[in-house]
Structure 1
Amino acid sequence: MFFPKAVLPSLLHLTPAWLRERGLKGVILDLDNTLLPYGEEDLPAAYQAWLEALRGEVPIYLLSNALPERFARVQTKLGLPGHAPALKPWLGFRRALKALGLSPQEVAVVGDQIFTDVLGGNLVGAYTVLVPPLREGEFFYTRFIRMLETPFRRPRGGLG
């Protein structure tokens, strides 16, 4: 439950072709330290271009444990469906799947944390993808959790 199906060196490596090769038709995407550096609200230029390319090919749903006010501001800027706080890993994923209209086997859950993104995605049967965090500076609790995640930061059976 704690191991991702794939580990990518960057979110930018998750391309429409990569998704197609695995039969994936949609993406549930974490926000903080996956798409945006922790605490920021503006997408870096490379990530904006990546997002536009991906959005043209597959539906994307933002799922975050961020505070609702900040999430709403970012979501409005990005123009993507989603919700927060999602209470990952236990809640939020089924709502996201329903919004995408896809089965779990057709969806990549992409995030930077094992105990929220990977565990939650695995619990619903999705294809889980772990990416490195965009920024080391983050909430104290998250830094502590990352130390506990270290043994699980590898894919099951290869790089996916």
Structure 2
Amino acid sequence: MRNRKVPDLILERVWQINETVLSQLNIKALILDVDNTLSVHGAPIPAGEVVPWMQKMNEIKVPLIILSNNTQKRVQPFAKRLNLEFVHFAIKPLPGGFKRAARLLKLPPEQIGVVGDQIFTDILGGNLAGMKTILVMPLGESGTRFIKFKRYFEKKYINLYYKNKRDE
């Protein structure tokens, strides 16, 4: 049985996701985390390459939605700036928020990719919901002490991903 803390793919940044990646993973839509995935933790604007990447996703008709554990006060202005729907207070890694996002996308879970920078929220939750998962490296510092603490334990699963790739 597959380890649910291991992503389907690891990339450096969200903007490395392209048509080839989507096709290889049979992904038709993406659920996106905010902090350290689309922006530096807490920043009100997206990182430099995010908007051009989103325009490319729009051109190839890949629906995008934001899923965040953060409050509506944090997520709504960010999502509005990018003209995206969002689910806030998702309680990741529990699958409920992922399922709400899938209903908004009107697609089955197996056709949806989850993109985020944390294994114990984004990757575990996406895998529990039956979605494809893409781990990206954090755009900035890890934020809270708790996130920094979790990063230490994430290394085990990142190493397991690369070990599995070597063994394929």
TM normalised by structure 1 equals 0.93
1:2-56 CA distance string (max 9 Å, x none): 1101111221211133202322100011111001110101123321111111133
Whether 1:34 aligns to 2:37 is: yes
Indicate how the Cα distance of structure 1 residues 77 and 4 shifts in structure 2: closer, same or farther if over 3 A, else same.
Answer: same
Whether 1:95 aligns to 2:109 is: no
What is the correspondence of 1:98-117 to structure 2 with a 5 Å cutoff?
98-117=103-122
Tell me if structure 2 keeps the 8 A contact 1:26–1:100: yes
Structure with higher RCO (Cα < 8 A, 6+ apart): 1
User: Alpha-carbon deviation of 1:67?
Assistant: 2.1
Out of 6, 10, 15, the position equivalent to 2:9 is 6
Task: Find the aligned partners of 2:9 and 2:114 in 1 and give their Cα distance.
Answer: 10
Tell me if structure 1 keeps the 8 A contact 2:31–2:114: yes
Structure 1 equivalent of residue 19 of structure 2? 16
Out of 77, 84, 104, the position equivalent to 1:80 is 84
Q: Give the fraction of aligned pairs with identical amino acids, expressed as a percent.
A: 35
1:127-152 CA distance string (max 9 Å, x none): 11101000014112111111121101
Structure 2 equivalent of residue 148 of structure 1? 153
Cα RMSD, aligned residues only? 1.7
Give 3-state SS (helix, strand or coil) of 1:98's partner.
helix
Whether 1:158 aligns to 2:165 is: yes
Task: Find the aligned partners of 1:3 and 1:100 in 2 and give their Cα distance.
Answer: 24
User: Alpha-carbon deviation of 1:73?
Assistant: 0.9
Out of 39, 50, 63, the position equivalent to 1:59 is 63
User: Alpha-carbon deviation of 1:106?
Assistant: 0.6
